Structure 1
Amino acid sequence: MEDIIIGVVALAAVLLFFLYQKPKTKRYKLPPGPSPLPVIGNLLQLQKLNPQRFFAGWAKKYGPILSYRIGSRTMVVISSAELAKELLKTQDVNFADRPPHRGHEFISYGRRDMALNHYTPYYREIRKMGMNHLFSPTRVATFKHVREEEARRMMDKINKAADKSEVVDISELMLTFTNSVVCRQAFGKKYNEDGEEMKRFIKILYGTQSVLGKIFFSDFFPYCGFLDDLSGLTAYMKECFERQDTYIQEVVNETLDPKRVKPETESMIDLLMGIYKEQPFASEFTVDNVKAVILVSINMF
């Protein structure tokens, strides 16, 4: 009994420490919003209805800019076109940072990608590289024949199914089309649609997207990271990362092989490995950087 009492007192002391410790940085006044509960904030309120319905109700009550809290993270909601323009256009640099996400941090090799990164000199360099080389109009045009070829293959399937009066699953066909285009543009690989390599690639792609969409306890309650372990989220994240890293490393090794037959059109992995060899940036551009950037690229298609 004494051990239980001591444990409860210790837990209460820890909670009080987090609640009442003085902030080390200057705190600015937040926009108005619903009063949060200790520790969990407004979490229970958001569970009752769709968040957008709650935000609409709160906007009527608190105005076009409001704040709420979940765990240790404070959110600000904008509900007017004028404020949205101010935030996203006029002051976009001040709001260009991205909040931490444990899954993204792990999957992107420590935030080495160009999508959900902090607004740092490295981010500016990598974003400029992406706009000038990976996603420029000229670059997109070089893969026009790939998209056209895959589109013809898809239409041939539809025509054959129509001749036999068979049912066509358009969603499945579009998924196959997208995956085939991504493989050829990103890695210069042309897989059999029903082959094991394509199935492996799709499993990796879906695993990565799944991890990026997960909600981790530790992102909102840093002192409850063990709940990610207990729920299996940490193990799932590591499993997806291992599959992803193994596959991309194999592609990198193939790209570095001097005996390799290069694709007709330079793939994204070829371009990135060329940048890796040249090292044109002020920041070091490692193989992990290549992996992180190519990972984001295939998820942006």
Structure 2
Amino acid sequence: MDAFTIIYVLTSFLILFTCWSLITSKNSKKLPPGPPKLPIIGNIHQLEKQTPHRRLRDLARKYGPIMHLQLGQVSTVVISTPQLAHEILKIQDLSFLDRPTATTSQIFYYNATNIAFSSYGNYWRQIKKIATLELLSVKKVRSFFHIREEELNHAFKFLDSSSETTINFRDLTIKTVSNIVSRAALGDVSKEREYLVDCAYAQLRTFNAFHLFNYYPSLSFFNVISGKKAKWMKMHMEVDVILEDILKEHRSRPRSIHDHEDLLDVLLRVKDSGDLDFPITDDNIKSIVLEMLTAGTSSSSMTIEWAFSEMMRNPKIMKKAQSEVRSIVKGNTITEANIQSMHYMKLVVKETMRLHGVPILLPRLNPVDCVVNGYDIPAKTRVLINSWACATDPGSWENPDSFIPERFENSSISYAGFDFEFLPFGAGRRMCPGMNFGLGTVEYVIANLLYHYDWKLPNGVKPQDVDMREITGISTLPINPLQIVPISISERN
């Protein structure tokens, strides 16, 4: 089928679909307000691909904190204030616990059986409980301290050899964080661990990419015609082969009670215990491990890069954070107790996550009709929480677009999902269970980099020249990787 024929068939179908939609639409529904819609495409043309959260906030300030968009065939409601986020994520949480179905999540995550994308029900409740109590508890996260310490020592070797020269800070943070996450998830037994992480990142980029057919579910067969589905299946099979080998390695190696359990060990132990109400399969385990590799690495490395971008842009904040860290640490090793005493460094991390956290929470879906703020939300509507808009809401924050760590001084606002103006890990039943692991990694890496090194911008670059423009996928990143110069100041054993 040539390109002209595909375009002709697609256009004809869309015209027929639009006519059918107009004929069968229920005019009695009181939908939330929103911008005018064009035939066929609806409001797709009003999205901004690079920073959609900013465009959606601008539209919300014109049309209201609850706003309806028609994105192709997909009816979408966007929530943009803490008050309405509280309504969706807390008061009516049970009505908005499902996830939309996507071809990529079905393929890559073994029929969407990971924590983030699986449908709400008994299976999801069970794996969320396993993640909370077994995989990512505070005790379990602390058991990985030796991994974080060893990987930071590897980073130190690179930085010492690069002292006084410009480095790509993003490359450093991604490598360090991905090594921490992959060792915690898989241990050291896999010879193909690095390649697996690369494959997982390639899969993650497919979620970030713009796929027209995400907005036209009835045309998903074009994923087959275009060859995209075949490409995704090939990527999945390559990852599956590696994960199968890793499972075999874990099952075959001798273990003692003194061995550190990685996350895959935990999942296999729970699976084989016979104590589960709903038995899990090897495919379920692989989907959860893959999720740990992608979500754990991308969000943490992004936060570290943004924190240093903000501190390089604000030298007084850098100096204050660095002075605190160096006044607390005695010797060459930073301990968990040291981290807990670094009050201002923690404020820097919190402010970074307010301004540069996940901009739009994973979409939700209501299985039945609902009413929110006096507006009808028909069943199967896609609901987006613009968490960045909540975190920059002028009714909740003073100077909301400015980086001011001190705003959290003596503040009760926490990461726990109770404060809807600050949702870096979401809230409610589908809140991210990886909060302890992510914060543990981010704070430890930042504290060590502040303690052992001074940092400066390359010659000729002034603080105000640091490029803070962003590009958005699941998370946001600086549009250009941060380029900075490390200066080694301490001796290590």
Q: Normalising by the residue count of structure 2, what TM-score does the alignment of the two structures yield? A: 0.52
Which residue is equivalent to 1:178? Answer: 177
Output aligned runs, 1:218-237, within 5 Å: 218-237=213-232
Question: 1:36, 1:42 within 8 Å by CA — same for their partners in 2?
Answer: yes
SS of 1:94's equivalent? helix
* Aligned equivalent of 1:210, options 177, 181, 205: 205
Q: Distance in 2 between matches of 1:54 and 1:223?
A: 27
- Once the two structures are superposed, what CA deviation does each residue of 1:59-97 show, in whole Å capped at 9, x if it has no partner? 344322110111221111223221122222222232222
- Once the two structures are superposed, what CA deviation does each residue of 1:38-59 show, in whole Å capped at 9, x if it has no partner? 3322122335995445434433
Is 1:105 paired with 2:115?
Answer: no
Q: Distance in 2 between matches of 1:289 and 1:49?
A: 33
Output aligned runs, 1:28-43, within 5 Å: 28-43=29-44
Is 1:248 paired with 2:248?
Answer: no
Which amino acid in the other structure matches residue 76 of structure 1?
Answer: V
Question: 1:216, 1:228 within 8 Å by CA — same for their partners in 2?
Answer: no
**RCO (CA 8 Å, sep 6+): is it higher in 1 or 2?**
2
The CA deviation at 1:108 is 0.8
The CA deviation at 1:116 is 2.1
Which amino acid in the other structure matches residue 292 of structure 1?
Answer: S
The CA deviation at 1:140 is 0.3
Question: 2:189, 2:249 within 8 Å by CA — same for their partners in 1?
Answer: no
* Aligned equivalent of 2:291, options 275, 284, 296: 296
Change (3 A) 1:19 1:264: same
Is 1:273 paired with 2:274?
Answer: no
* Aligned equivalent of 1:15, options 5, 14, 17: 17
Q: Distance in 2 between matches of 1:135 and 1:48?
A: 33
- Once the two structures are superposed, what CA deviation does each residue of 1:115-141 show, in whole Å capped at 9, x if it has no partner? 122221211111011000111000001
Change (3 A) 1:11 1:111: closer
Which residue is equivalent to 1:154? Answer: 155
Q: Normalising by the residue count of structure 1, what TM-score does the alignment of the two structures yield? A: 0.83
The CA deviation at 1:211 is 2.5
Q: What CA RMSD, in Å, does the superposition of the two structures yield over aligned residues?
A: 3.1
Q: Distance in 2 between matches of 1:56 and 1:161?
A: 41
Which residue is equivalent to 2:118? Answer: 117
The CA deviation at 1:28 is 4.7
- Once the two structures are superposed, what CA deviation does each residue of 1:165-198 show, in whole Å capped at 9, x if it has no partner? 554443222222122212211111167xxxx835
The CA deviation at 1:156 is 2.5
Question: 1:147, 1:181 within 8 Å by CA — same for their partners in 2?
Answer: yes
Which amino acid in the other structure matches residue 120 of structure 1?
Answer: G
Which amino acid in the other structure matches residue 102 of structure 2?
Answer: H
Q: Distance in 2 between matches of 1:249 and 1:48?
A: 36
Which amino acid in the other structure matches residue 283 of structure 1?
Answer: F
Which residue is equivalent to 1:286? Answer: 281
Question: 1:150, 1:177 within 8 Å by CA — same for their partners in 2?
Answer: yes
* Structure number having the greater helix percentage: 1
Which amino acid in the other structure matches residue 241 of structure 2?
Answer: T
The CA deviation at 1:261 is 5.8
Q: Distance in 1 between matches of 2:58 and 2:179?
A: 44
- Once the two structures are superposed, what CA deviation does each residue of 1:262-297 show, in whole Å capped at 9, x if it has no partner? 793111111111122124322231111111111112
Which amino acid in the other structure matches residue 72 of structure 1?
Answer: Q
Question: 1:217, 1:228 within 8 Å by CA — same for their partners in 2?
Answer: no
Which amino acid in the other structure matches residue 213 of structure 2?
Answer: S
Q: Distance in 2 between matches of 1:243 and 1:142?
A: 31
Question: 1:101, 1:219 within 8 Å by CA — same for their partners in 2?
Answer: yes
Which residue is equivalent to 1:96? Answer: 97
* Aligned equivalent of 1:197, options 192, 196, 204: 192
Q: Distance in 2 between matches of 1:211 and 1:94?
A: 29
How many residues end up aligned between the 2 structures? 288
What runs of 5+ residues in structure 1 fail to find an aligned partner?
A: none
Q: Post-superposition, which runs of at least 4 consecutive aligned residues in structure 1 deviate over 4 A?
A: 10-14, 20-23, 47-50, 259-263
Which residue is equivalent to 2:304? Answer: none
Which residue is equivalent to 1:132? Answer: 133
Q: Equivalent pairs: percent with the same residue?
A: 27
Change (3 A) 1:157 1:46: closer
The CA deviation at 1:157 is 2.4
The CA deviation at 1:113 is 0.7
Which amino acid in the other structure matches residue 180 of structure 1?
Answer: N
Which residue is equivalent to 1:80? Answer: 81
Q: Distance in 1 between matches of 2:295 and 2:51?
A: 27
SS of 2:183's equivalent? helix
Question: 1:276, 1:285 within 8 Å by CA — same for their partners in 2?
Answer: yes
State which drifts further: 107-116 or 52-61: 52-61
Question: 1:217, 1:224 within 8 Å by CA — same for their partners in 2?
Answer: no
